[in-house]
């Protein structure tokens, strides 16, 4: 009798698992982790069907298809006129995409069947949205990001709505843009009076005096110059930073300059 009860319970549970439709959202990511003010970024997430029952499309209208709704914050698609140009990923082709500039919302309507998972093969794919930042936000109040919500089709049977909404936000950084100019070739150059070398002998007999207009010369054939490295969070630990101080931010992956009371990435932009 006890064995029969166990078998019956197992059959019921297996039957419910096989019938339930269970799409979901996971792995929401913003790349890069800190967005350049006015720069480009990628908003990405994964969609999945954690059920053996597939999600079938119908010709009865949008209400009979799975809908993916992405609400953007402080960002717009990189191509607002043809939204599909801004969306890639392994499952991007399973949806028809549209963009509403008034609500700053991207909507994907399922147009292809989504298979159910098996015991050995998951049913999952990625969505990646190329965006441009439209507003600055501070690290203390990150507001550049998105919310993704799934709307189940009207034909859904035992739809499990758990894990059907995810969101992620980050902050922005102002990038210092600089222009370079050709070196001065007229007039009398000043010699560089100090140098550090890892070479067994100096490059020339008159080194470093024959290197013009420098403060110090570093010479090596197999070494690099490394500035102090910090994560973004560690920058607040620097006591009394001064204008012109340089560090390398290992979080933002850039050389940063302390200017006008803030740490900003240095980037060459004009030539």
Give the contacts of 51 (CB within 8 A, at least 6 positions apart). Answer: 17, 18, 20, 21, 22, 116, 117, 160
Phi (first) and psi of residue 18, to 5 degrees: -70, -30
3-state DSSP helix/strand/coil % of the chain, to nearest 5 = 10, 40, 50
- DSSP for residue 49: E
* The CATH number fitting domain 22-173, selected from 2.60.40.740, 3.40.50.1010, 3.90.1150.10, 3.60.40.10: 2.60.40.740
* Residue 259: DSSP 8-state: E
Strands 172-173 and 35-36: parallel
Closest C-alpha among 78, 75, 72, 76 to residue 136:
75
Tell me, what's the pLDDT at 4? 47
Find, among 21, 11, 43, 34, the residue nearest to 148 by Cα. 43
pLDDT in tens, the chain (271 residues): 544 444 444 434 334 333 467 889 999 999 999 998 888 999 999 999 888 888 877 655 566 788 999 999 999 999 999 999 999 999 999 999 999 999 999 999 999 988 888 888 889 999 999 999 999 888 889 999 999 999 887 766 656 667 789 999 999 987 766 666 666 677 777 888 888 888 888 888 888 888 888 888 888 888 888 899 998 889 889 999 999 899 998 888 888 888 878 888 877 665 4
Quick count: other Cβ atoms within 10 Å of Cβ 144? Answer: 25
- 8 Å CB contact between 144 and 73: yes
- Asked if residues 110 and 67 have their Cβ atoms less than 8 Å apart, the reply is yes
Quote the CA–CA distance of 252 and 201 in Å, as a whole number.
Answer: 38
The full set of domain ranges for the chain reads 22-173, 176-268
- Where b means 16+ CB within 10 Å and e means fewer, 81-115 reads eebeebbebebbebbebebeeeebbbbbbbeeebe
Under DSSP, the state recorded for 243 is T
Residue 51 is classified by DSSP as S
* CA 112 – CA 95 distance, rounded (Å): 7
């Amino acid at each position: 009798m006890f064995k029969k009860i166990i078998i019956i319970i197992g059959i019921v549970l297996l039957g419910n698992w096989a019938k339930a439709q269970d799409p979901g959202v996971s792995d929401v990511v913003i790349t890069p982790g800190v967005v350049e003010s006015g720069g480009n970024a990628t908003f990405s997430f994964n969609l999945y069907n954690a059920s053996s029952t597939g999600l079938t499309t119908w010709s009865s209208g949008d209400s009979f298809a799975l809908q993916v709704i992405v609400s953007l914050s402080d960002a717009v698609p990189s191509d607002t006129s043809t939204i599909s140009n801004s969306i890639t990923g392994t499952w991007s082709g399973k949806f028809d995409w549209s963009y509403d500039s008034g609500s700053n919302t991207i909507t994907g309507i399922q147009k292809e069947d989504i298979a159910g998972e098996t015991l050995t093969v998951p049913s999952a794919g990625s969505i990646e949205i190329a965006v441009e930042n439209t507003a600055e936000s501070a690290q203390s109040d990150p507001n550049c990001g998105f919310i993704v919500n799934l709307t189940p089709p009207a034909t859904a049977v035992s739809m499990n709505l758990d894990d059907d909404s995810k969101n992620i936000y980050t902050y922005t950084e102002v990038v210092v843009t600089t222009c370079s100019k050709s070196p001065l070739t007229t007039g009398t150059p000043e010699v560089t009076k100090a140098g550090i070398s890892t070479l067994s002998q100096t490059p020339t007999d008159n080194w470093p005096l024959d290197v013009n207009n420098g403060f110090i010369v570093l010479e090596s054939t197999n070494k690099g110059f490394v500035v102090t490295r910090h994560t973004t969070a560690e920058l607040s630990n620097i006591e009394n930073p001064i204008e012109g101080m340089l560090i390398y931010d290992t979080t933002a992956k850039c050389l940063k300059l302390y200017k006008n009371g803030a740490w900003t990435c240095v980037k060459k932009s004009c030539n």
